[in-house]
Amino acid sequence: MKFFLHLTALLFLSFYARAQEMSPFTLGFEQTIPSKILGQKRTLLIHIPASNGGNRI
């Protein structure tokens, strides 16, 4: 009986784990700027909190 309960619980948990969306997790935006000193482009990851006018995606 315990085996059946454990198997049922495992089955329900596997459906729960697969129900999550596989969308990218985004906190901000990416900006690329040229560096005159290094002579190459540099990538910045920028996050502005929503309380400060953020959510620019």
Q: What is the pLDDT of residue 46?
A: 85
Classify residue 9: in a domain, yes or no.
no
Q: Residue ranges of the chain with pLDDT lower than 50?
A: none
- 8-21 burial, b at 16+ Cβ within 10 Å, e below that, comes to eeeeeeeeeeeeee
State the pTM of this model. Answer: 0.39
**Burial class of residue 28 in the structure, from the number of CB atoms within 10 Å of its CB (0-12 exposed, 13-18 middle, 19+ buried):** middle
The count of structural domains within the chain is: 1
Strands (E), 1-57: 29-35, 40-46
Q: What is the pLDDT of residue 43?
A: 93
Nearest to 31 by CA among 43, 40, 23: 43
Q: What is the pLDDT of residue 29?
A: 84
Nearest to 29 by CA among 48, 41, 42, 45: 45
What range does the domain containing 40 cover?
25-57
